[in-house]
Amino acid sequence: MTTLFTNVRIFDGTPHASRAGSVLVEGNRIARVVYGDDPITAPAAAQVIDGGGRTLMPGMVEAHCHLTWGSSVEQIYHAFILPPEELDTAATRNARVLLDHGFTSLWSAGALGDGIETRLAARIAAGEVPGGRLIPSTLERSPEGDEGVDTGDVFNGRGPEAMRAFMAYCAAEGVRAVKLVVSGESALKPGSHVDLLYTPEEMDAAREAAAEHGLWISCHAYTDAAVDLALRAGARIIYHASYIGEATIARLAALKDSVFYAPGCGVSIAALEASPPPHIDMSAMKHSAAERMELERVLVPRLKAAGVRVLIGGDYGFPFNPNGRNARDLAHFVEHFGFSPVEALAAATSLGGQLTGQQVGEVREGWLADLLLVDGDPTADVTILQDRNRLSAIMLDGRLHKLALPVAA
């Protein structure tokens, strides 16, 4: 299939203004990008989409995705842990919901069931179910004991050998990004964000085993000591880091070419906004969220200024923060972290694409054709990306998942 987008403003994924132009897609790749008013001549048999001045941009990358956190804008679950069959159904639905909302790549930050995401990633890749490119994970690993974040006990166990066994298991299953919960979680257990759930020896074992098996590691880490452990494990991405100080900021800045960072503010803002019914106590969650946002309002702009790649993704999947609202993170970056709209868009596209190690997140010749045609100008107002009706076209791997415009043959 060959598709020509004409009469569009192109936001190419880098933090620069959009420009008028046209884009040709051949097969699953972007074949040509031409700026200026002279459009590309449509090859024979191309379908031509006249963008009417709409914005063509890369599909978005969710860098902290939880497909098995069941709730979405289409269906809310009040139970956090679902029965296995429902978990499968919810994860499959959520992959499609995210694609419907413009997310064409998903970096999983952990699952609530073993094997669900690797099976789902295979089904998506085979075209059996709709969804973005999924980097699958497995159960978020925290060691046994009640100090941990309880996300399942299957792989618990202490010591370097248990860690090596876990990594080997994940690799055999087809996991690509292993999630290690290094810090406790004060939103669930007050005060526990200072707890460290791993030893240096376990993290060394994680690094060695991950390298041996070709696995990436994502870490949930709040404090200096936790980020130190995450870096010791060779983490590719660090989530939260809300409580770190000067020395750790400097360390992350020095590692800016190899480590990514995602604050995960979506869940914090949503927790602060939520007004739960009387029988649901969100006070710990709200307190933790307020504290983290206060710190991150200072921290995140500093990390960005130091050149650290800051990505969107905010623990969507709770009833008060359902999957499908993920594009809110862009607006949060603008409102709370001082990002310009194009910087927030770059965080959601080119920088996220770099995390996945694939040629995605940019409108660039030769790169994979994951594209959004947006009714309006997200480089002026990122909030329009929260409205799926503004997505006139969603292209994944050169194929139109959605087209709400007429086509000229």
Residues of this chain that interact with Zn ion (CB under 5 A) are 109, 315
Q: Is 117 left (phi over 0), alpha (psi -120 to 50) or beta?
A: alpha
Q: Which is nearer to Zn ion, 311 or 384 (CB)?
A: 311
Please give the structure tokens belonging to residue 304. 């960005």
Q: Which is nearer to Zn ion, 112 or 209 (CB)?
A: 112
Please state the closest distance from residue 220 (CB atom) to Zn ion, in A. 6
Q: Which is nearer to Zn ion, 18 or 183 (CB)?
A: 183
Please state the closest distance from residue 346 (CB atom) to Zn ion, in A. 22
Q: Which is nearer to Zn ion, 315 or 397 (CB)?
A: 315
Please state the closest distance from residue 90 (CB atom) to Zn ion, in A. 16
Please give the structure tokens belonging to residue 224. 């200096």
The Cα–Cα gap between 276 and 266 comes to 17
Please state the closest distance from residue 240 (CB atom) to Zn ion, in A. 9
∠ CA 330-331-334, nearest 5°, is: 95
Please state the closest distance from residue 89 (CB atom) to Zn ion, in A. 21
Q: Which is nearer to Zn ion, 112 or 371 (CB)?
A: 112
Measure CA 31 to chain center: 26
Q: Which is nearer to Zn ion, 33 or 149 (CB)?
A: 149
The Cα–Cα gap between 51 and 235 comes to 41
Please state the closest distance from residue 12 (CB atom) to Zn ion, in A. 29
The Cα–Cα gap between 13 and 17 comes to 10
Beta strands, E only, 86-195: 103-108, 133-135, 177-181
**Which residues have CB under 8 Å from 60's CB, separation 6+?**
102, 103, 104, 105, 312, 326, 327, 348, 349, 352, 372, 385
Q: Which is nearer to Zn ion, 109 or 203 (CB)?
A: 109
The Cα–Cα gap between 206 and 7 comes to 50
Please state the closest distance from residue 267 (CB atom) to Zn ion, in A. 8
Please give the structure tokens belonging to residue 407. 């086509």
Can you give the length of the chain in residues?
409
